[in-house]
Each structure stands twice: as structure tokens, then as C-alpha cells.
Structure 1
């Protein structure tokens, strides 16, 4: 093993000055040859007397027998000298001196001419590849100066450490027997015991917090379970809809109002202006002349009474209505109204119409299927003391989504501030060596303080935690999936709305009204200036508009294809940005369509039911940090900083065991780092957990700020729900290790594709299989829709968009409807003598039709059709004496052995179908022969 000495500054200077010296010594494995490497060429005339080797035992020093210079052909080896020595040395440290001889030829003490004195000698060992042995015996350690102390490793706390120190001092200082607390030695002992106690506690804490089962701190448990993708939550604030009422129309600016329920406060979830209209406080439901109209469970539409003038409804898509039963259907008294018959719905569309029979103006509204009525709502009834018609249910407008929590800055309070620490001042020092981007050597440079650690600090939200109120944790609203779904639905109708507007312009032109300036600008945006220049739009608008209408699909084919791609991206969960995709839509389809994609529009906020069921695992703290000196410098909370870039202003908020909220900012790589010395302002809300789950009618006050002369009343018809306390650590430890096996996040096998497709709403069951196409695998997914025998195209698109982001790399996904197998079923039924044969035939046909035994929801993939099940079902009908199945087979296919074996088996991707519709025999044929009866 070479032990070449590293060249330092003197070595470089000596080489530059032309001086020679020993650069390194290596030993042959046989320990009889030494190879010296010099700075320069080996001088001639060197003999054994010019080398002197000294070791720890002079009597055993090796002697140099021969000296051989090895200039060789390689100029890099010009400084090699080989020495033959005897006897071989051991693993001890030896020193080799290169000296010049005296006139008698004996070794001298001075180095030869041309050698630098510091490099005329070098230390080495003959055992460079061996352990440190001396004659085969390990080298003994020097004896200790004092007896080895007996260490009590169980001494971990202050008392035991103090006792151990005093016992040790008794051995080392036998004459010192002072134990008074004021003695200096005792004070030092107690200080050392205290320091040892802290170190011991820190060691135990580090060891305990390193594992999930033993971690005691809430922050440690949260970070452990984050590694297994378990979203531990810190609770969630409750939400409710507050309905406002006022005698006159009034607009409440954002941030100027909040609500109160006893000691608990609620603030609006979205910072938007709210207009309170008296006509929306109580909206009547239209009965269409029915004295006892009931909206059944599952209803998604209703008709509202509209009034003239100031009573005219100004509802828009996205507004929330609370349908409420206000009277008892039998007694007509408000006290008898069913308080559970209240539900909030978000309007998706509305249409003004009129009931000409009764002369009533109406507004027909619809809402999402997720907001479908969960109970039958009685609209009108005949009852009460006078047995008169009653309006049992009404709709409440002016609804504001409010969340539990209050801001300390409400009413003009100052926000909390903290200053990001500045780095310590630099110290003068030597600059870095010359390199790319470094200064030239010479002089001093301002170096960062040592050690050069990154500047890290974790500020604490001052007002949160116990005994104060906890910080508010709130999931994002609107939910990204609801927002993306709403944008996708909006994009799906862009082309149809454009075509309808174009048809309206053509209809107006036929009536003699040519397109105005606004319509012309819209046409130029839609079709382009080049297309309109070829048409006589000014001279003959009817011909031009008819040409555009007839060629609508062809002229806008590329735009419609791009629109379909954007809609598909939105259905996959990607929220379209108004500044990017919205700008593109504005340039292609008009500014109105782009404004409709704005996330601030209430029409895109999803069903009202989703707003009242917040998921605590998606909640983030309601904390914002701003830098007043930097325009737009807003710091927002995130669950982690793994996906944050160097320019992302984000932080992670972690609650400790006392509820205190600690903010962890980025380091300049994962998340932006605040500027040194910058002052950040914290704005947050306080109030969280089940304390906000107040009952219905609990919100009774509206607090206004900076608004005078306005009287606004508030009530919450629905109770506040969703308030959740922080997740206990015991539950986290029990659930987190199994989280990875509970959620399917990627599709790898065919079963994975089927399971993920089955999670899409509207899918009863899905089947999948992987097929090799010759170049890649193709996942073919068959969808069995819920409530219909044939999956609609919209549902297939949703399944395809759901599977595309989670598919395995290299897999293509093809989604189609389930392969339905029409059946031919023939029965011979004997009716009872007193039964009417026609009634029996109708009952059997109804039982074996698509609403009975062969209902689409009762059948799915590979559902076998058993002769015994059909026989038992028909035999159980009233008036049936006997039944016999005479045919059971696949329609349009050769007859099998199903009748003989008693069961018709289907493949994994097949679903049986028997519609028994004479007009559509391809969907299944039912043949009945009825005998007996009358």
C-alpha cells in the first residue's frame, strides 16, 4: 500500500525551486524491498551508506544492502530508488534518512546536495497491509493512570447521576467528605448531574420518537404516518348554511359581516359580496293545482312562484336554496312541522315559465343528483282547523355558507407579526482558491459565519392552542374535484350553446334584424376574420348565417376537438386556470364562455351536500402569511413541501400536543425561503372541532362592521355539521400501518382496473381483462351501469377519465359497455281454475320483465340464470297452479344444454338481458303459454 505524502505548499515551492526530496515510501510484500519516490530525478552515486533506517529497537534496525536507481523510459518514474534491506522490519514506525557520506564513506547527518532538509527523511512501517502486531503479539495498551471506574448504566436521572458522581469523588478524593449544598464541589456535582439528566432525557426522547409505536409527540407521529401515506388530521371546523332576511334589498361587502350562535362565531367560507333580497327570504313552491302535492324522495327539480316588480326572483345557477317544511300537513301549525324535512340544494339550471291555467309566473329550477331529496317533501295539503289548502313547504334563499371560527383581526384588530431572523454577520477570511466564479487569491473576503448552516426557524401562531381556542382547520372550498367536474360540464356545452346562438342570429336575420356589433365581434372570434371575409355578411346576412349554420361542425372541427381535450382533462380532476385555459377559450369561443370557467362562480362549486360534509383529512389551517413590503407576497399552507419549488410561497403548519400551531417554511429548494429580516403578518381564525356543531336555529345574530342603518336577520335552518376533533394518537397507531393496503391508488392487474372503475358513481360493477396487442398491453374494461341495461356514453367517458391517470405505464385503456346477452325464455304456466288467464299472463310478464327478476340492477357480470329460480318466482305468483320452463337459451345462438343442466352460464364480461319488449325483440324474448283459468 503506497503511503505517498500529500504535496503541500512547501513541496510545490521546493519542486519549483529545483530541489529534490522524498515524496513517498512503499514496501514490497516480502518486507525486504523499499521503493522510494522522489520529487525529481534520482541522483547518481548513491550507495547503502547514504541511507539510514532507525526503529524503536536499535539492535533490530534493518541495514541497506543494495541501492538501485530505476530511471526507466517513463519520465514520471525518474525519481524511483529501490533499496534491498535485511533483516525485514515489523509493524513498528521506522524513519529513513537520506544523508551524504563523510570522507571515510560513513553515513553523515546532513542531506545530500540538492535535497530540501524537511523532505530528506520520511517515516514508514513494514506492516502496511497488516494489523498492528509486534512479533505476532498485539501491542499492549499503556496502563491507565487511575483504576477503571465502574459505570452504572442505570443511572439516568438527576438523583442517580448525583449519587454516582459523589461515589466517584469519594474514590478519587478520599479526604473530601463535604456534602453541604453550599459547597462549591457539591454545586459542581449537582450542575453536572442536571446536565446529565437533560442529556439522558434527550437520548431517550430521540430513541422513543424514532418509532411509531413509541413516539409520544404528535408531530413525530404525524411525520411517521406520512411516510405510509396516512393523512392524520387535526380536526375540522363545522359548516352550515345561514339564511338572511331584510326588509329592503341590501348588499353586504365581503369581510364586513359574520354570524354568532351563543359564544361561537361563524364566518363566510368565501370572501364574496352578498346581496340580501327580501323576495328570496320565503319562496313558495308551486303545486300545479294539486291539493296534496308531494315531491318524492330523489326529486331533482321543482317549480317556484315568481312575483311581479320587487317580488321578482333573481336566482342564478349556483345559488343555494333550503327546502323547508314550515307547517304540519295535518294540523297546519308551525310547531308540528317536521324539522328533519329540511335540505339544502344548489341550483344547476333554471327556466322562467308560466302556468297559463292559473296565471302564475314560475321559475323552474333543477339541482344536482347529489342533492336529490332524501325524503318526500309535502308541498301542499288540505288540513288545519278549517280543512283549508295549506302551503306546507317553502324554499329559503339568501343562503350563505358559513364556517365555525373567528378572526382576531375582526373589528380592526392588528395582525400578529414575526420577523424572519437575519443571518449572523460574516467574518473576514481567506477567499476560495482560483476557480470558475471565484475571486483571485490575495486579500480577504467576507465569509459566512461558521458553521454555515441554513437559517431555519419555526414561528408559532400566538393566539392558537390551549388554554386559548384552537386554530381553525378547513378543507378547501370548493373542492377541486367538484370544481373540475363543473368546468368539464361547462365545456361540454360550449359548442351546443354557440350553435344555438348562431341559430338565434339566423332566426333574427330572417325576421329582418341583422347582427349587431356585439354579434359580429362574436362571429369573428368564433369563425375567424378569413371565413367571414368570404361571406356576404353585410349585404346578405341571411345567406351568410345560413352558410355558417350548415357548416358549423366542419368549420369548427379543430376547435371542438381541442374543447373535448380540455373537458377530458377537467374530468380527470385537473382544475383549469382562467389565466391559461380560460384565455384560450376566450380567444376561441368568446369571453362569456371564459368567464364561466372562473372558480369564483358559485355554479362550479358542486352540490350543497358536499359543502356540509367536509373531510377532515383534507383540512388545512386557516392561516395566511403576508409580507407587507412585497406586493403579492402571500404564503399559503400546504400538507407538505415535497412538490414545492424554489419560488412557491408555502409553509406547513404542525399542531403539537398543546394545540399550538408551528409554521415550517421552505429551505429555498423545496419551498421559498422568506427574505432575511423580513416581517410577515399572520392572519388566522380560531375555533375548531365539535364545539361548532350547533343545532338548527342556533345562529341568530349578524355582526356588521362599518355598515350603518341596515337591519339584517339570520337563521340556520340546518344544524352545523362536519365539526371534528383532532384524531387521537391511539387511533392513528392502530390504522396507519394498514393504510397502504386499504386504498388502491394504481391499476396494475385486471382486477385493479375493475375495482377502480367500480368506484365511479353510476357503475354497478365493472369487469376487465388485459390483452396483448403485439406491441403493448391493452386493458379492456366493461362497465355495467346502475339502473340501465346499457351504459351511457357519459358514464363511459367518466370511467375512462378515472382510469387514465392511474393506469400502469405502457397500458392503454379501452372502456366499453358490458356485453349484454339477450335471452329466449319460454314457459308453460297453468293457472288456477278460478284465476283470470289474462291477469296471470300480465303478472308473469311483469315478473320476468326488466322491472322484475331481470331488472338491470339485479344482474351483473357472469350472473347465471337458473331454471329453479325462474320456476320458484313464477310459482309464487297468485293464481299460478304449476309452471314449467320449456326453453332457456341465448338468443340468435345455437341451443345449449342450459335447460337440461338447469342453469345458463355466462362469461365474466357478459350480462344477461330480457326486456320482453315485442317492439325490440333483439333485447330478449319471453314466450308464455297460459293454460287453465277462465
Structure 2
């Protein structure tokens, strides 16, 4: 019999006036049944009208009596009470109301008036008691085919293949696999979304470790934990030379440069996608025509060259119109080739920019020529020999081979754009998330959904423009401090020179005021400077150190501070210098001076790991927020933020939490001024920058704009894969403290002026002293300035309890005698000269360093390689000062770890090593 959950037929039978069995109730003893009907019970019912079928253990149950229970309420149904001959078991029985049979037995046809569907009903006798009833056997629901799901599919490629395999089963006729097909497009979209959702499920565990992190921001923060500065790229820099027909100023913030054709352009002329370069220093640039082309003076001589390593030159300044000063940049350039005299034959690699450290006016009285003697830093020393003049060309005349260029501007790749405006949401629950008075146009994008409380506000706006310029701050504070230290160290010498000049000339009121500030009014009055200036100045010069002992000691303290990296300011230390040494000297300590910007060579070698996003944020209270690499050293009042580059190249600004960096003021708007453009795209070639673009002004008279040197320093963001490899090894590569002797030597040898350094720890009886020996590059004895800089640099790394001593390496003069047999067809004098040249190169200071032993075999091989030598033999190899050794017997003269061998072969200084050549044969 079919079973249905919704029996609508029952209601229809009632409405149609039909009858049927509604319910069956069993008495406690199981001997009587109460049967309810839909309507009125027939009055002529007898036991033969009821048949009970079924049962397992008790069967054949018969009805023996029928009692009618009629209800007086017409709305209530009737019932009958049946008495059976015995109680049944707990199995299922079926009670049917039927017509009586011919012999008083129940029949099979339903009783007239009863619906066939409800003429019988199933029931059971009694309950199950304390045991569970047997479950009703119902038909099991149809089992659907299980969908095969590969739970190992976690990435885009796996999801895509899984979808294609599934579609192959469900849609066998679809066999298209071309990318433009709409089915493939939908499949790839679903695979992408599955990959994204799968990543979000595992994001916490994935991003928690450096080896598994996928987000660039996560990898950056993991690397920061081990002090590995992951960089986001760096912008290229170049030197741009401008030639002008008249002296004009370029107002700051109104000009930039580009690779567009032309010379002087407007902002509206920016079309296409040119590379734009902004000046590194936001300052006014004054163009002077005399600096377009500056000739070098050779004092009337010809075929002159500046050698490699030169740090000074003499410039022609006929009308005193150059106006050069310390800090200005000159660019030396070879114009023509020698001997052809053609510009096409010029060596374009012979171009170099230098920053002047001193400028002195002088004059060549023989030729009545006004000159300028200029010098530049050791780091800017010429890397090639620069030919100044020579004879050549079709007519074999004297040619000017190279010149110096002024009007030089340092530029950096990246174009400034209109400031971006961002809304900061308001956390108040009764306020909209975007302030209504905010002019940023954020609209209702951040409006909270009704009925949900607002989430905590995290101020991390994302800049709309990309890629944001990554710029290294220039000049570096360490370079400024080092330049200030050198300037302060030379201050007493300059004061002495000025007093000497005053002693030879007449004193003015300004000079008397200067001497009074320097030595005090009481001493100046006592010496009667006005009446007897020469006598007074002679006394002041003779007692200079004694009279200014306190000021000199304070000056040494300032020099130590500057060498330690502390930038001296004009407001504090500059004022102090002005009060002690004169107002002119105090004004020159300004940290913004061009002379303190460091060598020109460092300006175009930016370190990408020190680069910061070129973004400045202004809040609603006009507060300025500046970028930092991290906020670990930022205090609660520091307006700093961090710019983090995401995987898509966008830059997200992260502000402080009130402890590490100040919290950003909520509710309002912020404005971000930024530049766009960075990476390898800025490394344009020489002569690529050819135009200057003016924003709000127009400067006439500009003849040409060019970059004689290519732009360099542009670097793309560091790949995440490389960070995973390098970051774990960073702690082993970086030396942060000097503990052992090798640590001191490694740190001292990092200076570009040091060829090598050696260290040793000596016990003094109370503590250890770290002794560091310096082998300078290009010379044998380290100058005082190099020892002072090395000592100041090591002091911050030294271990607590270690004294520090820095000195020149111990030189070991040698006494060498070489016996040489010369071939008969060679002149002995020529061979002798060639031998001295070859052995001089062998003992060149930069070739020998700490602990380098002198081997007899190498000396013999060097001498035997000289043309004309038939046989060479070392007959003496000893230390010039010391007991005899065994070098000839062992073939090696050992040199100590803090010693350097020396053999200058200088007859005027025999104590620096002697070379004796014993020649036989030849002509």
C-alpha cells in the first residue's frame, strides 16, 4: 500500500460525505478495539462486518461483539467498540470493515458507503514496553551518484583541470579548448576564484612562514625580522648640463626634464609616455653662460693630460664670471679625438662629474690670465687619463681636447603628479563611514550596510597611481656628517691662514672685529691691535694653540660627533661656531650647504635598500607625514608612515598605532603628494634627456639640455624568490659588532681607501686592546685623516672593554740582490733599466699586503721574463734591519700578520729597501 506524507484524499472524502476508518485504539488488555469513523457509524454493524488480518505469532483473531458509540453532536464522528476473542502480538495487523459473508463470516468487499482507500487500517496490539520496537521498514531513498571531489586541488591549474574533466563527463559533446571560447573563459574564471578562495582558507598558515608566504608584504615583514631590508626598486639618476645664452634663474619647483624632442617645452607638451626626470634638490638653479664651456689651463704647455687619480685642475676664468664655489659640480668631457680632431672620434667614456671641495682665485702673470684652482674629493678622483690639449687635425694645430661643463643639475627618474585625495572613515556608529564634507569623491563605497555595527577603522589607503617612485634620500646624513667633520678639522688651519694674511695687510674694522671674537676683547685691548697690528698678530700666531686651547678642545669634540654620524645643525652647533670662531665660519656649518652633499660619484650610486617611496602625506590639520622603512624607531609623536608595495605594484600606506609612530587622525581627508616612475625604465642612455619642461613660468635663452652621462641606478623591485634565499643568510653576512681580531680587520678594510687591514687583540695587563693595522691604497704610509676616520668608524662597533688602536702597517724594508746574466746581443744598461722597472712593479705597494711572503722563485721568474736575460739568481734576500734569515735556503722570506714588505729602491731613501742588480755579460 502506498504511503503518502500529504493525504489530501482524506479531506476530499469528508467533504463528499463518504465514510472510512479514521483511527483504531487498543485497550490495555488487548481484548477490545475502539474504531473511529469519518462520519456516522452504520447502525447494522455486526462482528461479521470486521475482519482482522496479519500477525506473526497470534493469527486468526475474530471479532465477537460490536458496540456502537454514537455521538449526539452532529459535528462529531461516531465510533464502535469491538471485542476480540484474544489479544494479538506486537506485530502489525490490518482491520477492515467489509460486507458479511454468506455463512456469517467476514467477506472481502468494503462495506457500502466506505471509501476503498480508508476501509482498512493497520494497527498493533499494545506498546513495546521497556524494549525497542522493531523499526518500520520503509523504502530507502534513491542513492544519488556521489560527485568526485579532489581535495588536493588547491591552485589555479588544478582547479582548471578538474573543471575540464568534469565538463567532459557532463557535456561530452563540448570539445572546444581554444582560449577565446566562452566555455574556456568561464572555466578559467571559476578556477581563478577557486584559487583565491582556497588561498584565503589557508592564508594564516601560509603567510606565517617565510618559506610559504606568497604575499609580497608578508615576505617583506618576515625579512625585516632578520634585519634584511627587502627593497621595492630604485629610481635612476643622471647629471643634466644646461647651456644658456644669458644669466637667468630657474625658480624651484617650476621645471623638470624629459626625453621628449625639443629644448624648452610646456606642461601641455607632455604626450605619449616619455621618461620624466625631476631635480633631486628642490632649489633655485642659476644659469651662468660662462659655465657653458670652461677651458682648462695648461700654463702654456702642449700635449697635457690630467692623469688618472687627479683631484685638482686649473680653470680659465678670464672675466671672473664663473662664480664657482665649494659644492658646485663640474663635468669633464672629451670633445674630440686625437689625432684626428673629429668629434666623432671622441671617447664618450671619458666623461666624469666631480663636486668641488675648494675654489681659489689665482692668476698667471706671465700670460696675464685669471684662473681658478679647483679641487675635488678623493672619491671623485678621475678614473681615466683626461687629455687636455694636443696637436692634431688636418692642419696639425693645437686642439682643445676636453672642457669642463658647469650649470649641472642632478635629476632623478619619476614625474610628480597632482596630489591624491583619500577619505579616512569615521568610526562613530551614528556617522557615515565617509565624511560628507570630504572632497575626495569616495561616495558611498565605504558606507556600512544597515543593521551591522561599524568595523574597527584601519587607516591603510592605497595610492591609485603606480609605480610610485622609490627614491634614496640625498644627501645621506652620514655623508653630511663626514663632510662637516672634515670642514671642522680644517678650521684651525683656515683661521691661521687668515691671520697670516691679515699680518701682511692693513686691518679693517671687520678684521678687528673678527680678531676680537676669536681671542677676546680683553686680550686684543692689551696687545693694542689698532696701534700695533703686526706685533699683536705675530704674538697671536705664535701662541695660537695656547690662547685657543679651550676652543680647540671643543672643536675636537664636535669633530668626533660628526665622525660618529651626528649631523651638526646651523641652529645649534653653527651658532656656537659663530660665537667662537666668527660669524662667517658659523654660517658655513649649515647642513644644507652644497659643499656637504658628498662626492658626485656617490650621488649616482644609490642603494636600493635605502630607497623610500617619494610620497608626502598632509592630513586635515595640515600636518606633514614622511615615509620611513619601518616604524620600530618612531615615537608616538613622530608623523611617519610606511609605504608597502603589493604584488600588483600598488603602494599601501601604513600608519602607526600610537606607540610605534603616531596614530593617523581619524575622520577627514588626507592628501598624498607623490611621484610616479621607477626601476630600470629610468636607465636612459647618454644624450637621451633633451628637453626642459616648465610648469608655471617660461625661462628664455636656454640653448641646449643634455645628459652627457647615462642615467644609472634604476633597479626593479627585488623578487620574492630572491628574498627567500638571501634573508636567512643575512645574519651571517652583516657584521654588527667587532668581537674578534678578524672582525676589526674586516670592518676597517671596508673603506675604499684601505687596501687591506689586519687586527690583533693584545692583553695590556688589565684589559684587551684591539690593534688594527692599515695598509692604505696607493701609498705605503696611511695619512692622518685615514687613521682618524678608520678609528671613528670602528669605535661604534668595538666590544665593551676593548681599547682601540689604529696605526699604519709595520713596514719591513728588504735587502735584495739579484745576479743576472745578459745575452751577448743586448745592451746591459737597457736590461738593467727594464729589470728595475719589472721588479719595481713586483714590489708595488698595492700588490703586497699583510702577511704576503716574498718567494725567491717569483723574483727569479719576474727577472727572467725581462727581454735579454739569460739567467737570473737571487744571491741575497734579507730584512734590511734585523738578524740574518734563511730565505735563500727555504726559498721564502716570511712576513708577519701585521707586517708589509717594502722595497722602494729609492737612492735618496735607502731605509725603505735596497735593490742591487749584479749584471754580467751583454754589450
Match of 2:229 in 1: 231
Comparing 224-233 with 832-841, greater Cα deviation is found at 832-841
**1:239-278 alignment runs, 5 A limit:** 239-262=237-260, 263-278=274-289
Alpha-carbon distance change, 461 to 899 in structure 1, aligned in 2, over 3 angstroms: same
- 1:902 CA displacement: 2.6
Look up the SS of the partner of 1:230 in the other structure: coil
Residues in 2 aligned to 1:659 and 1:683: alpha-carbon distance in whole angstroms: 18
**1:170-209 alignment runs, 5 A limit:** 201-209=199-207
Residues in 2 aligned to 1:337 and 1:926: alpha-carbon distance in whole angstroms: 43
- 1:569 CA displacement: 2.9
Match of 1:785 in 2: 776
Match of 1:121 in 2: none
- 1:244 CA displacement: 1.5
Comparing 720-729 with 707-716, greater Cα deviation is found at 707-716
- 1:927 CA displacement: 4.2
**1:54-65 alignment runs, 5 A limit:** none
Residue 338 (structure 2) aligned to one of 329, 336, 345: 329
Alpha-carbon distance change, 822 to 315 in structure 1, aligned in 2, over 3 angstroms: same
Look up the SS of the partner of 2:562 in the other structure: helix
**1:33-48 alignment runs, 5 A limit:** none
Look up the SS of the partner of 1:858 in the other structure: coil
Alpha-carbon distance change, 532 to 290 in structure 1, aligned in 2, over 3 angstroms: closer
Residue 914 (structure 2) aligned to one of 910, 913, 925: 925
TM-score by length of 1: 0.71
Residues in 2 aligned to 1:375 and 1:882: alpha-carbon distance in whole angstroms: 38
- 1:880 CA displacement: 4.3
Alpha-carbon distance change, 731 to 545 in structure 1, aligned in 2, over 3 angstroms: same
- 1:354 CA displacement: 3.0
**1:476 maps onto 2:473 in alignment:** yes
| Alpha-carbon contact 2:429-2:453 (below 8 Å) kept | no
- 1:695 CA displacement: 2.2
| Alpha-carbon contact 1:505-1:515 (below 8 Å) kept | no
Residues in 1 aligned to 2:763 and 2:206: alpha-carbon distance in whole angstroms: 51
**1:454-473 alignment runs, 5 A limit:** 456-462=458-464, 464-465=465-466, 470-473=467-470
Residue 359 (structure 2) aligned to one of 338, 350, 353: 350
Residues in 2 aligned to 1:787 and 1:267: alpha-carbon distance in whole angstroms: 38
Residues in 1 aligned to 2:249 and 2:259: alpha-carbon distance in whole angstroms: 22
Match of 2:389 in 1: 380
Look up the SS of the partner of 1:490 in the other structure: helix
Match of 1:742 in 2: 733
CA RMSD of aligned residues (A): 3.3
TM-score by length of 2: 0.72
Residues in 1 aligned to 2:215 and 2:731: alpha-carbon distance in whole angstroms: 23
Look up the SS of the partner of 1:717 in the other structure: coil
| Alpha-carbon contact 2:472-2:608 (below 8 Å) kept | yes
**1:389-538 alignment runs, 5 A limit:** 389-409=398-418, 415-424=419-428, 456-462=458-464, 464-465=465-466, 470-508=467-505, 513-516=506-509, 518-538=510-530
- 1:208 CA displacement: 1.1
Look up the SS of the partner of 1:459 in the other structure: coil
Alpha-carbon distance change, 525 to 331 in structure 1, aligned in 2, over 3 angstroms: same
**1:912 maps onto 2:910 in alignment:** no
Residues in 1 aligned to 2:504 and 2:722: alpha-carbon distance in whole angstroms: 66
- Structure exhibiting the larger radius of gyration computed from Cα positions: 2
| Alpha-carbon contact 2:296-2:315 (below 8 Å) kept | yes
Alpha-carbon distance change, 221 to 536 in structure 1, aligned in 2, over 3 angstroms: same
**1:657-736 alignment runs, 5 A limit:** 657-677=647-667, 679-708=669-698, 710-712=700-702, 713-736=704-727
- State the number of aligned residues: 710
Residues in 2 aligned to 1:345 and 1:771: alpha-carbon distance in whole angstroms: 43
Match of 1:902 in 2: 891
Alpha-carbon distance change, 321 to 892 in structure 1, aligned in 2, over 3 angstroms: closer
**1:283 maps onto 2:274 in alignment:** no
Which consecutive unaligned segments of at least 5 residues does structure 1 have? 1-149, 161-194, 410-414, 428-449
| Alpha-carbon contact 1:777-1:812 (below 8 Å) kept | yes
- 1:401 CA displacement: 0.8
**1:540-689 alignment runs, 5 A limit:** 540-627=532-619, 629-630=621-622, 633-677=623-667, 679-689=669-679
Residues in 2 aligned to 1:406 and 1:280: alpha-carbon distance in whole angstroms: 28
CA deviation map 1:482-539 (0-9, x unaligned): 222211211111111111112222222xxxx3341x3233223322344435432344
Match of 1:222 in 2: 220
Match of 2:37 in 1: none
| Alpha-carbon contact 1:420-1:674 (below 8 Å) kept | no
Which consecutive unaligned segments of at least 5 residues does structure 2 have? 1-145, 159-192, 261-273, 432-451
Residue 297 (structure 1) aligned to one of 303, 308, 322: 308
Match of 1:20 in 2: none
Match of 1:367 in 2: 376
Alpha-carbon distance change, 871 to 339 in structure 1, aligned in 2, over 3 angstroms: closer
Residues in 1 aligned to 2:339 and 2:782: alpha-carbon distance in whole angstroms: 44
- 1:663 CA displacement: 1.0
- 1:781 CA displacement: 0.9
- 1:221 CA displacement: 0.9
Match of 2:21 in 1: none
Match of 2:134 in 1: none
Look up the SS of the partner of 2:792 in the other structure: helix
- 1:795 CA displacement: 1.7
CA deviation map 1:857-911 (0-9, x unaligned): 2222222222333333334444445444333322332223333333222221122
**1:775-924 alignment runs, 5 A limit:** 775-832=766-823, 836=827, 838-848=829-839, 851-924=840-913
Look up the SS of the partner of 2:370 in the other structure: strand
Alpha-carbon distance change, 904 to 202 in structure 1, aligned in 2, over 3 angstroms: same
Alpha-carbon distance change, 289 to 499 in structure 1, aligned in 2, over 3 angstroms: closer
| Alpha-carbon contact 1:765-1:860 (below 8 Å) kept | yes
Residues in 2 aligned to 1:678 and 1:556: alpha-carbon distance in whole angstroms: 58
- 1:574 CA displacement: 2.9
